[in-house]
Structure 1
Amino acid sequence: MKNKSIRHALGGTALAALAFGAGAQDVQIYGIADVYVGSVRGSSTKTVVDDGGNAASRLGFRGREDLGGGHAAYFALEMGMLVDVGTTAVSSGFGRQAFVGYRAPWGSLEAGRQYTPLFFNLLATVPFGMNVNWAPVQMSTSMDGQPAAVRALGFPLRQSNLLRYRYGGGPNAKGLNVDVVAAPGEDATNSGDMVGFGASYRGDHFFIGYAGQRIDSGTAAVTKFRNEIQGVNGSYTLGAWTISGAHLVSDSSLPGGRRAAHTVLGLAHDAGPHRWMLEANRRDLKGSPNDALAIALGYDHRLSKRTALYGRLLHLSNRGTASNALAQAVVNAGSGDDVRAVALGVRHNF
């Protein structure tokens, strides 16, 4: 995305103080404003004006100082925004990202609230990105036979207190990328401790990756358990077409917890300002009839490098008494109700 760059002129302003107060560094303000109008049907039907049908709205600050010899210091502070109501989102404050990093020829070190390796690998693969509202890969559940503690933990793709070592330029850069992370829960019971690993390789026309993460949960009053998520994913581009796939497995050591597998297939076609997308995710809950299938169709019309109009169609089929949801639909627990949604929106980058 294009960003507004602020160089040297910040002087002694508050923003410059956030950016280490270094006069020679490059500081940027960036963001996304995205709102859509739609109709969503789950256990009930509603007309909505909501945020983030293409990408979640956000406001961020990032900066970088070149220290010479391939060394650099950098930071990012990013908050979630709900443009439809004018408030912040994602834990308020800079809940999307807040970290500082150091780059050297041997790799990068980062510390703070960040995305996990699994998030970055999936973001580089699936057609709808990691849009929490409409991307089938983000299918979440409120009740499908999993214990309450497992459901509350969900599918964590951000982590506070995260320490990261990365070799390579990230999943969007060509070549090998290796990502190793760990985070202390800062709790006497070790609740919230997390470790993760990711590796990927991007060629001229293909991408392949693996990522896994493990997080401890529970308290003295609740049985301690360990939740693990692993995923392999890849894509191949031939001309204007890109086909992609991912297979994710989450498992829990909590008594009564079930293994859940997600099989995701995607297809995208880019032609000039037009982009068509199709994505499907089948959720299979081991030893249970409460499975689900989500299918989304999307169209983006790029008016410029900054602005796009888009349309979305979604169908999510819950089986048994599952109550998975997308598009912010309300699905009553244990109802097995399906989700259908349609939306038209606009996204603007700055």
Structure 2
Amino acid sequence: MKHTHLTIALAGLLTAAGASAQSHVTVFGVADAGIRKTTNGAESETSLASGGLAGSRFGIRVEEDLGGGMKAGGWIEGTVNLDNGTANTTRLWNRRTTVSLSGALGEVILGRSLTPGYTAFGEYDTFGTSGLADQGKFHSTAFGSGIEATGLWARADNSVAYNTPKTLGGFYANAMWAAGEGVAASAFRGARLGYAAGPLDVSGAYSVIDATAGDHKRTSLAGRYDLGVVKLFGSLVVNEYLEAKRTITQLGVHVPVGSAGTVRANITRADASGQQGGTSISADDATQVALGYVHALSKRTSLYGTYARITNKGAAKFAVSTPPAAVAGQASRGIEFGLSHRF
């Protein structure tokens, strides 16, 4: 995503912020809304939804050149629900709040940001972890481990992260540790290793969350390969908590259409095994199939459409979107058409 860069001199905003003439301020965001119809079980609802192609957001990044290859940075970013103008219900800057220091040896980041346990599958989601086909829905609920309430299935508060420099011949790694600070399902530790060069990008990750009654563990392996005429996506992620396990596999494609279009399609399978609270969950599986099209009107503005359907079995009740409420063992399907602008 390319953002609007505002380089501001010593006078004005940078003076007020106490930054130097070598500082850069980047104001960025996404304005994305679409018409959506969702059917869960026998109930349907039509709505105007936010973030069907990319999550609507507003953010500010700052960077200062300290000399000698060293840079300091800050990043604040929050959700904007474009359909009604509200922000996240629990915190204003819910997406990222960090300060960082980078140089020849890599980057250290302090604050709230995405974990390597999330990016290790999220960066390989055929639908960009947004809209009806977002595979995050299969990871955000984890057998009562508590990560649903804290949001640690994706982002960590009170974290210290490290990213290797971009000078390792395509190899990269990042690691994160987050303090629990006395809150259940808030402590995190994990790392990701990968290789990205030319058409190939592949990585694996392992993370542990100190959940409500034990460790929630996530192991993943994912990759994508650009053949030119088609881009292939694949991921395998295992979430384990106590005696319960969910294995999530995804296979997907991007197919260019002309100079401005892209067809997106994938299938995602969530297989449960073991038991929760003494009850077997082995029959609680789900399969999602999705098909979409994105048409770029410019480098920043796109029209899109997506159809997704989930087949739930047993007590599984995943939904492409809510409302209406998901129904255990019942199908969920939805269709949306929208407009997305990045700035």
Structure 2: stretches of 5+ with no match in the other structure: 275-281
The question of whether the paired residues in 2 share the 8 Å contact of 1:125 and 1:207 is answered with no
Cα distance in 1 for partners of 2:176, 2:287 equals 31
TM-score by length of 2: 0.90
Give every structure 1 segment of 4 or more consecutive aligned residues whose post-TM-superposition deviation is greater than 4 Å: 15-18, 141-144, 147-155
Instruction: State how many pairs are aligned.
Output: 334
Cα distance in 2 for partners of 1:62, 1:149 equals 31
Write out per-residue CA displacement over residues 31-90 of structure 1, whole angstroms, 9 at most, x where no aligned residue.
Answer: 000001021100310001010100110000001111222211111100100000001126
The question of whether the paired residues in 1 share the 8 Å contact of 2:145 and 2:216 is answered with no
- Give the root-mean-square deviation of aligned CA atoms: 2.4
Give matches, 1:1-350, under 5 Å: 1-9=1-9, 11-13=11-13, 21-43=19-41, 44-89=43-88, 91-131=90-130, 133-140=131-138, 146-147=143-144, 149=146, 152=149, 156-169=153-166, 175-187=170-182, 192-218=186-212, 224-253=213-242, 257-271=243-257, 272-287=259-274, 288-332=282-326, 335-350=328-343
Q: Which amino acid aligns with 2:119?
A: F
Write out per-residue CA displacement over residues 219-253 of structure 1, whole angstroms, 9 at most, x where no aligned residue.
Answer: xxxxx321111100011111121111100000012
Q: Which amino acid aligns with 1:339?
A: S
The question of whether the paired residues in 2 share the 8 Å contact of 1:268 and 1:275 is answered with yes
Greater displacement, 56-65 / 135-144: 135-144
Q: Which amino acid aligns with 1:103?
A: S
Q: Secondary structure at the match of 1:125?
A: coil
TM-score by length of 1: 0.88
Give the Å deviation of 1:149.
4.6
The question of whether the paired residues in 1 share the 8 Å contact of 2:125 and 2:134 is answered with no
**Residues 265 and 66 of structure 1: CA distance in aligned 2, closer, same or farther (over 3 Å):** same
Structure 1: stretches of 5+ with no match in the other structure: 219-223
Q: Secondary structure at the match of 1:300?
A: strand
Q: Which amino acid aligns with 2:179?
A: P
Q: Secondary structure at the match of 1:118?
A: helix
Cα distance in 2 for partners of 1:315, 1:119 equals 23
Aligned sequence identity (%)? 28
**Residues 141 and 245 of structure 1: CA distance in aligned 2, closer, same or farther (over 3 Å):** closer
The question of whether the paired residues in 2 share the 8 Å contact of 1:97 and 1:113 is answered with yes
**Residues 45 and 10 of structure 1: CA distance in aligned 2, closer, same or farther (over 3 Å):** farther
**Residues 267 and 122 of structure 1: CA distance in aligned 2, closer, same or farther (over 3 Å):** same
**Residues 314 and 211 of structure 1: CA distance in aligned 2, closer, same or farther (over 3 Å):** same
Write out per-residue CA displacement over residues 4-40 of structure 1, whole angstroms, 9 at most, x where no aligned residue.
Answer: 3222347354x7656x533320101000000010211
